[in-house]
Amino acid sequence: MDLTFGKEELAFQQEVRDWLKENLTPEIVGEIKVGRNAYMPKERLIDWQKRLAKKGWLCTGWPKEFGGPGFTTNQKYIFEMEMARAGAPGTSPFGPKMCAPVIMKYGSPEQKARHLPPMLNSDLIWCQGYSEPGSGSDLASLRTKAVRVEDATGDYYIVNGQKTWTTLAQTADWIFCLVRTSNEGKAQEGISFLLIDMKTPGISVEPIITADGNRAGTQEVNSVFFTDVKVPVENRVGEENKGWTYAKYLLEFERGGNPYSPRLRSAFERLKRLSQAMSDGEASIMADVAWREKLARMDIEISGLEMFEQEFYSRLASGQNPGPMSSMIKLRGTEVMQQVQESAVEAAGYYAQPFPEQRAWNANVEPIGPEGVDVLAPRYFNGRKMTIYGGSSEVQRGIMSKVMLGL
Residues 376 and 276 in one domain: yes
Residue 75: what pLDDT? 87
Calculate the CA 193 to chain-centre distance.
Answer: 20
d(CA 217, CA 289): 44
For residue 20, being part of any structural domain is answered with yes
Q: Are 288 and 239 in the same domain? A: no
Domain residues for the domain of 293 are 259-403
* CB within 8 Å of 329: residues ≥ 6 apart: 255, 256, 259, 260, 305, 308, 309, 312
| Side-chain half-sphere exposure of 73, counting CA atoms within 13 A | 15
Would 1 be classed as within a structural domain? no
Which residues are CB-neighbours of 55 under 8 A, at least 6 positions away? 19, 23
pLDDT computed for residue 38 by the predictor: 78
Domains in the chain: how many in total?
3
Rg (CA), the chain: 22
Which of 57, 91, 125 is a domain's end point? 91
Neighbours of 250 (CB within 10 A): 28
Measured distance CA(118)–CA(140) in Å, rounded: 30
| 114 shares a domain with 85 | no
Q: Is the model's pLDDT at 142 over the cut of 50?
A: yes
Instruction: Indicate whether 137 and 203 sit together in one domain.
Output: yes
| Cα dihedral across residues 67, 252, 322, 73: positive or negative | positive
pLDDT beyond 60 at 70: yes
Sign of torsion over alpha carbons 46, 47, 52, 53: positive
Q: In this predicted model, what pLDDT tens digit does every residue of 186-211 receive, in sequence order?
A: 989 999 999 999 999 999 999 998 88
> Is residue 104 in a domain?
no
Interstrand relation of 126-129 and 174-180 (parallel, antiparallel or unpaired): parallel
Among the candidates 40, 62, 91, a domain finishes at 91
* pLDDT, average across residues 63-77: 88
Q: Give the amino acid at 192.
A: S
Same domain? 232 vs 270: no
Q: What does the pLDDT look like over 257-274, one tens digit per residue?
A: 567 898 999 999 999 999
Is 153 contained in some domain? yes
**pTM, to two decimals:** 0.85
Domain-terminating residue out of 91, 118, 133: 91
Rounded to an integer, what distance in angstroms lies between the CA atom of residue 302 and that of residue 323?
21
Q: Tell me, rounded to whole angstroms, the distance of Cα 358 from its chain centroid.
A: 23
Asked if 120 contacts 58 with a C-beta cutoff of 8 angstroms, the reply is yes
The reply to whether 156 and 234 lie within a common domain is yes
Any domain includes 96:
no
Question: What average pLDDT does range 329-354 have in this prediction?
Answer: 92
Are 81 and 114 found together in one domain?
no
Same structural domain for residues 50 and 135? no
For residues 216 and 353, the model is more confident at: 353
* Rounded CA separation 10/52 (Å): 20
Among the residue ranges 87-96, 226-235, 353-362, the one predicted with the least confidence is: 353-362
**C-alpha closest to that of 204 among 185, 222, 178, 231:** 222
Looking at residue 2, its pLDDT comes to 44
pLDDT of res. 1: 42
- Average pLDDT of the chain? 89
What is the band of 361 on the pLDDT scale with cuts at 50, 70, 90?
A: low
The predicted model gives 119-124 an average pLDDT of 96
Tens-digit pLDDT profile for residues 7-37? 999 999 999 999 999 999 988 888 888 888 8
C-alpha–C-alpha distance, residues 7 and 166, integer Å:
43
Helix (H, G, I), strand (E, B), or coil: what is residue 181? coil
pLDDT value for 309: 85
The pLDDT assigned to 270 comes to 93
Contact present, 348 and 275 (Cβ < 8 Å): no
Q: What DSSP character marks residue 172?
A: -
Q: 157-161, 315-319, 341-345: lowest mean pLDDT where?
A: 315-319
Give the integer Cα–Cα distance in Å for 148 and 373: 53
3-state SS, residue 76: helix
| pLDDT number for residue 405 | 85
pLDDT the model gives residue 109: 96
Report if residue 291 sits inside a domain: yes
Query: Is the residue at 103 inside a domain?
Result: no
Are 159 and 181 spatial neighbours (Cβ–Cβ below 8 Å)? no
128: helix, strand or coil? strand
- Tell me whether residue 385 is in a domain: yes
Asked if residue 318 and residue 195 are part of one domain, the reply reads no
230 and 296 in a single domain? The answer is no
pLDDT computed for residue 317 by the predictor: 64
Is 289 a residue whose pLDDT tops 90?
yes
Higher-pLDDT residue of 72 and 133 is: 133
The CATH number of the domain where 177 resides is what? 2.40.110.10
Among the listed residues 220, 206, 202, the one whose alpha carbon sits nearest the alpha carbon of residue 94: 220
CATH number for the domain that contains residue 352 = 1.20.140.10
> Comparing C-alpha atoms, which of 251, 407, 373 is closest to residue 321?
251
Same domain, 86 and 118: no
- Range of weakest confidence among 44-48, 105-109, 166-170, 388-392: 388-392
Question: b vs e for 281-298, b when ≥16 Cβ sit within 10 Å of the residue's Cβ?
Answer: eeebbbeeeebeeebeeb
> How, if at all, do strands 174-180 and 221-232 pair?
unpaired
pLDDT, tens only, 206-265: 999 888 877 777 889 999 999 999 999 999 999 999 999 999 888 777 655 567 898 999
Burial call 2-24: b when 16+ CB within 10 Å, e when fewer? eeeeeeebeebbeebeebeeebb
pLDDT digits (tens, 9 = 90+) for 296-329: 999 999 999 988 887 877 776 676 776 788 888 8
Q: Are 269 and 236 contained in the same domain?
A: no
User: What's the rounded Cα separation, in Å, for the pair 407 and 398?
Assistant: 9
